[in-house]
Amino acid sequence: MSSMFKSDGKFAVLLAYFKIIMTYRGMMIIHAIRLLLLPMVLASAWLSIEKTANNPYSDSDYLLYYLLVPVIMNLTDSRIVFKFSLAVKDGSLNRDLLKPFPPLMGYFLESIAGNSMQLFYLVPFTFIFWYFVSDRVMLGHLEPSLLLFFVAAIIIGGLARLMVSGAIALLSFWIEDVTTLNLILNGGIWALLGGMIVPVATFPDKIRYIAELLPYRYMLSFPIEIFSGRLSSPEIYRGFATAAFWIILFAIIMRVIWKTGLKTYTAYGG
């Protein structure tokens, strides 16, 4: 299988992306700090607010939640919207179409390289924050099966974000600037219903029910809820099933848009 992976150039492309990313180490450090600052500010805000009687989160829960937010945000991140939109505009998609693998695979490999390298900078900062609050964060509930579910949830969350982002990105065949649409659907709504600003578990019942039906929760909040031990096994399996539904649906949507878009795509240069 590894020979197949190398033969079509994917492995070489992945290594090339790693080399490119390493030339921008300073920017990666800045990005890591940026990823950490907002969750830490939000955690400080929630810790300073008096909790209502029906709030299921304690101070320990909030600390653990917002410690994990930057890591999950990074691991599930996708840059396909910006990359593909630019490729359509400047005609470089022409060159990508000649490569021995689908162009979208290249953006997927680039995301893997970028997200993996970012961890080298992000994780140390996260551990530094954790060191100062470790006496207030409870991890006694962790066990191997829970960690396996956690890893699986991150993978599924990354796929869900990639598919949603990919469907938006492919609209670049017809829409000149999809970044605004992405900011609304894959930024604003994701931040609200995905759990970046407020943990999904603390939503009012009706809003939480909506959030559990939409794909955004599974890109961020769901893995953290598993790690925190807040979900039962049936709830975890139901979450996986819901996320899988959205992944398959958006994969079909992407395929349809891709085939239709290629028929209308024309560009010079690249």
Quick: pLDDT tens for 219-244.
Answer: 999 999 999 988 999 999 999 999 99
What pLDDT band is residue 167 in, cutting at 50, 70 and 90?
very high
- In contact, 154 and 62? CB cutoff 8 Å: no
Q: What is the sign, positive or negative, of the torsion defined by CA atoms of 113, 127, 37, 42? A: positive
Of 154, 149, 155, the closest CA to residue 226 belongs to: 149
Residue 122's nearest CA partner among 183, 196, 67 is 67
Confidence grade of residue 156 (pLDDT, cut at 50, 70, 90)? very high
Kindly list the domain boundaries of the chain, sorted by start residue.
2-264
pTM score:
0.81
